[in-house]
C-alpha cells in the first residue's frame, strides 16, 4: 500500500497557464522540471545524476518533476518505476496536451519550489551547471540562464546549417522583439531557473518551444545572470525539433510583441466576423446574378421585377448564412421563431438602407466629382459593406426580445 502511494503520478493541473504565488502545502527551495517526449533511454540516467547533485546541494529541499506527454515509448512508465528509489522524484503524465512549453508550465504549476527550473531530459544540458545557476539565484538574480554564447559556453559539434538557423532565429528575434530577446545572450536556451515570485500570477501563453521568451516577456524580471555551458551531443533518442517549431517561434515573437493588442483590436472590430460577413456577401452576389439571369431568360420577367426578386433572394441567402455562421453565436442565444423573424426583418431593412446609400454614393461620386461609375460602384460597395456589417452587428443580431 505504501509503495502504491509513493508510485502515484502527479495530477495534471488544468485551466489557465498561471503559476500560483505561494506553494500550496509545504514549500521547497527548488523544483526542477524535466520535460520528456520519447526519452525512455535517457530518463534513468538523468534522474540518477540530478539526484546525486541535488542531494548534496539541497538535501530534502528539492523535487524533480518529470513531465511526459504520454510518450509512445512509455517514458512516463519508466520514470514511474523509479519513484520508489528516488523520494524527491515526481512524475506527471499528460494525455490531453502536447508541447514543450505547456509541459514545463504544467510542471511548475504542480511544483512546491520557491525557485523553478527546467532542464532537457536528453542529457544535452550538462547537469553540473545547475549548481552555478542555483548560486546565481541565491545571490540575488531573478533569472539565471545557461548560455551557449558566454564565456565557457558553446556547442559541441554543430554543423554550419544548425548554427546558422539558431543564430538566424536569434537575429529575427532581436529585430521583432529587442526588449525581450536582447536581454540574454542565448534566448533559445531551455535550461534556466527563475524565482517563482517573478512569474507568479502572470498569465503565460503556452505557445511553442521557447518558454524562456515567455518568462522574460511576461515576468517581472529585474536581475538576470548567465552561466556558460556546452550543448552536448545527444547520446540516445532524437530531437523533436521540426520546421513547425520555427513557425511557432515566429508567431510567438509577434504575439509577445503585440501583447494582447491584436485580440483587443479583434474585440473592437471583430475581424473574423467581418471576413465571414464579406464572404456571405460574395455568395449573395452570385445568387443575385444567377437568379437575375434565370428570371430574365427562363421566366422572361421584366427588368424591374427580376431585379427586385433576385435581390430579395440574395437577401434571404445572406440572412440564412449570417444567422447560422457569421452571427451564429448570437443567434443561438435567441432561437425562438419570433426572434429569428425579427432579425430577418431588420436585416431586410438594413439591406434596403444599404441599397439607398449605395445609390446615393455612386451618384454623388459620378455627379459631383466626375468619378467614372465603374470606379465609383466598387468604392460604394466597399463602404456599404462596412456600413451594413456595423449596423447588423449593432442592430439585427442584438437582443431582440428583452424580457
Residues in touch with Mn ion (CB under 5 A): 122, 124
Kindly state whether residue 43 participates in binding ligand GDD, applying the rule CB under 6 A.
Answer: no
Measured CA distances, 7 to 81, 82, 84, 350 (Å):
7, 8, 6, 65
Alpha helices by DSSP H, listed for 75-126, are: 75-82, 100-109
Measured CA distances, 279 to 100, 123, 222, 266 (Å):
37, 52, 48, 18
Between residues 246 and 285, which has the closer beta carbon with respect to ligand GDD? 246
Picked from ligand GDD, Mn ion, none, the partner binding residue 240 (CB below 5 to 8 A depending on kind) is ligand GDD
Q: Tell me how far, at minimum, the Cβ of 239 lies from Mn ion, in Å.
A: 5
Among 19, 65, 103, 291, binds ligand GDD (CB under 6 A): 103
Between residues 205 and 358, which has the closer beta carbon with respect to ligand GDD? 205
Q: Tell me how far, at minimum, the Cβ of 35 lies from ligand GDD, in Å.
A: 4
In eight-state DSSP terms, residue 59 is T
Picked from Mn ion, ligand GDD, none, the partner binding residue 142 (CB below 5 to 8 A depending on kind) is none
Between residues 162 and 167, which has the closer beta carbon with respect to Mn ion? 162
The region, left, alpha or beta by phi > 0 then psi within -120 to 50, assigned to residue 224 is: beta
Closest CA to 226 of 334, 335, 322, 152: 152
Q: Tell me how far, at minimum, the Cβ of 229 lies from ligand GDD, in Å.
A: 10
* Helix axes of 100-109 and 211-218: crossing angle, nearest 10 degrees: 60
Between residues 83 and 376, which has the closer beta carbon with respect to ligand GDD? 83
Instruction: Let me know: does 185 contact 174? Beta carbons within 8 Å.
Output: no
Reading the block at residue 151, the C-alpha cell is 564565456
Instruction: Let me know: does 146 contact 189? Beta carbons within 8 Å.
Output: yes
Picked from ligand GDD, Mn ion, none, the partner binding residue 39 (CB below 5 to 8 A depending on kind) is ligand GDD
Q: Tell me how far, at minimum, the Cβ of 84 lies from ligand GDD, in Å.
A: 23
Among 13, 30, 36, 292, binds ligand GDD (CB under 6 A): 36
Reading the block at residue 73, the C-alpha cell is 515509448
Q: Tell me how far, at minimum, the Cβ of 310 lies from ligand GDD, in Å.
A: 54
Strand, coil or helix: what is 87? coil
Instruction: Let me know: does 326 contact 396? Beta carbons within 8 Å.
Output: no
Among 124, 170, 310, 322, binds ligand GDD (CB under 6 A): 124
Between residues 112 and 125, which has the closer beta carbon with respect to ligand GDD? 125
SS (H, E, C) 13-32: CCCCCECCCCCCCCCEEEEE
Instruction: Name the maximum alpha-carbon separation found in the chain.
Output: 94
Kindly state whether residue 239 participates in binding ligand GDD, applying the rule CB under 6 A.
Answer: yes
Strand, coil or helix: what is 228? strand
Compute the chain's Rg from CA coordinates: 30
Closest CA to 146 of 187, 209, 212, 192: 192
Kindly state whether residue 400 participates in binding ligand GDD, applying the rule CB under 6 A.
Answer: no
Between residues 99 and 219, which has the closer beta carbon with respect to ligand GDD? 99
Kindly state whether residue 69 participates in binding ligand GDD, applying the rule CB under 6 A.
Answer: yes
Between residues 249 and 347, which has the closer beta carbon with respect to ligand GDD? 249
- Residue nearest ligand GDD (C-beta atom): 190
Between residue 6 and residue 35, which ones bind ligand GDD under the rule CB under 6 A? 35
Kindly state whether residue 120 participates in binding ligand GDD, applying the rule CB under 6 A.
Answer: yes
Kindly state whether residue 193 participates in binding ligand GDD, applying the rule CB under 6 A.
Answer: no
Closest CA to 66 of 51, 53, 82, 79: 79
Picked from ligand GDD, Mn ion, none, the partner binding residue 189 (CB below 5 to 8 A depending on kind) is ligand GDD
Binding site for ligand GDD (CB under 6 A): 35-37, 39, 67-69, 98-100, 103, 120-122, 124, 166, 188-191, 239-241
Amino acid at each position: 500500500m505504501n509503495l502504491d502511494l509513493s508510485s502515484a503520478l502527479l495530477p495534471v493541473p488544468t485551466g489557465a497557464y498561471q503559476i500560483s504565488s505561494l506553494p500550496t502545502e509545504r514549500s521547497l527551495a527548488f523544483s526542477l522540471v524535466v520535460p520528456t517526449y520519447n526519452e525512455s533511454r535517457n530518463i534513468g540516467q538523468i534522474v540518477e545524476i540530478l539526484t546525486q547533485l541535488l542531494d548534496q546541494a539541497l538535501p530534502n529541499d528539492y523535487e524533480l518533476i518529470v513531465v511526459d506527454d504520454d510518450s509512445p515509448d512509455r517514458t512516463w512508465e519508466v520514470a514511474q518505476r523509479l519513484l520508489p528509489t528516488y523520494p524527491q522524484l515526481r512524475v506527471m503524465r499528460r494525455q490531453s496536451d502536447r508541447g514543450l512549453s505547456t509541459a514545463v508550465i504544467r510542471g511548475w504549476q504542480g511544483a512546491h519550489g520557491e525557485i523553478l527550473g527546467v532542464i532537457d531530459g536528453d542529457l544535452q544540458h550538462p547537469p553540473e551547471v545547475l549548481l552555478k545557476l542555483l548560486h546565481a539565484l541565491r545571490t540575488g538574480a531573478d533569472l539565471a540562464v545557461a548560455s551557449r554564447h558566454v564565456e565557457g559556453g558553446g556547442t559541441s559539434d554543430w554543423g554550419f546549417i544548425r548554427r546558422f538557423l539558431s543564430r538566424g532565429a536569434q537575429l529575427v528575434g532581436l529585430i521583432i522583439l529587442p526588449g525581450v530577446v536582447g536581454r540574454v545572450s542565448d534566448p533559445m536556451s531551455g535550461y534556466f531557473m527563475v524565482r517563482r515570485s517573478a512569474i507568479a500570477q502572470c498569465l503565460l501563453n503556452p505557445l511553442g518551444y521557447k518558454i524562456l521568451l515567455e518568462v522574460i516577456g511576461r515576468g517581472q524580471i529585474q536581475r538576470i545572470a548567465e552561466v556558460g555551458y556546452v550543448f552536448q551531443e545527444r547520446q540516445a533518442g532524437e530531437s523533436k525539433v521540426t520546421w513547425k517549431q520555427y513557425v511557432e517561434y515566429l508567431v510567438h515573437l509577434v504575439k509577445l510583441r503585440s501583447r494582447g493588442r491584436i485580440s483587443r483590436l479583434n474585440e473592437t472590430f471583430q475581424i473574423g466576423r467581418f471576413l465571414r460577413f464579406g464572404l456571405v456577401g460574395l455568395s449573395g452576389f452570385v445568387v443575385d446574378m444567377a437568379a437575375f439571369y434565370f428570371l430574365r431568360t427562363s421566366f422572361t420577367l421584366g427588368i424591374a421585377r427580376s431585379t427586385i426578386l433576385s435581390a430579395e433572394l440574395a437577401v434571404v441567402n445572406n440572412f440564412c448564412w449570417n444567422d447560422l455562421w457569421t452571427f451564429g453565436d448570437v443567434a443561438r442565444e435567441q432561437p425562438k421563431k419570433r426572434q429569428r423573424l425579427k432579425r430577418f426583418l431588420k436585416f431586410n431593412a438594413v439591406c434596403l438602407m444599404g441599397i439607398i446609400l449605395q445609390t446615393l454614393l455612386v451618384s454623388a461620386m459620378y455627379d459631383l466629382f466626375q468619378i467614372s461609375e465603374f470606379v465609383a460602384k466598387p468604392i460604394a460597395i466597399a463602404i456599404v459593406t462596412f456600413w451594413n456589417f456595423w449596423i447588423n452587428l449593432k442592430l439585427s443580431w442584438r437582443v431582440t426580445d428583452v424580457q
